[in-house]
Amino acid sequence: MKQHDDEPESLLPLSPAIFHILLALTGEERHGYGIMLETARSSGGRVNLGPGTLYRSIKRLLADGLIEESDERPVPELDDERRHYYRLTPFGLRVARAEAQRLAALVRLAQSRQLLPQPGALTLEGGMQ
C-alpha cells in the first residue's frame, strides 16, 4: 500500500478516471465492465474509460487502499465467475468526499469570478446574468 498516512488530502487531486471509478463504486459493488458502463452512463457519455485506463486505475486504487475486491457475488446464474467485483473502502469513501469538496471549492471560485452563474441565478440563453 502507498504511504498516505490515512490523510485523504495526501492523494489529491485525483485524476478524472480515478474519481469517476470511485463515483461508480459509491453505494454499489461492481465489476470492471460494470464500472465502465456506469461511468459512461453517469457522465452522459462524456467519459468512456478504456480497458487499459480502467485496469491500471483499479490496480492503483487497490494498492492505495481506496478499493478492495469483494468476496460477495450476485446470484450465480447471473454472474460470470471470472469477474472480479470491487467496492470502496472506508478510506476510499473519505478520499472521494475530499475530492468532491475540493472540486466544489473550485466551482465556488469560478462562480465568484463570474465564470459560472451563482446557484439560482437566472441566465439568458445560456450566458451569464
Are 11 and 4 spatial neighbours (Cβ–Cβ below 8 Å)?
A: yes
Give the model confidence (pLDDT) of 72-116 as tens digits.
776 666 667 778 999 999 999 999 999 999 999 999 999 999 999
C-alpha cell recorded at residue 93: 469513501
Give the model confidence (pLDDT) of 51-65 as tens digits.
999 999 999 999 999
pLDDT of 1 reads 46
pLDDT of 125 reads 56
| Spans of all domains in the chain | 13-112
Are 20 and 110 spatial neighbours (Cβ–Cβ below 8 Å)?
A: no
Q: What mean pLDDT, rounded, does the chain reach?
A: 89
DSSP state of 19: H
DSSP letters for 80-99: -TT--EEEE-HHHHHHHHHH
Residues of the chain with pLDDT > 90, as a percent, come to 75
User: Is the model's pLDDT at 2 over the cut of 60?
Assistant: no
Name the CATH architecture for the domain at 13-112.
Orthogonal Bundle (1.10)
pTM across the whole model: 0.84
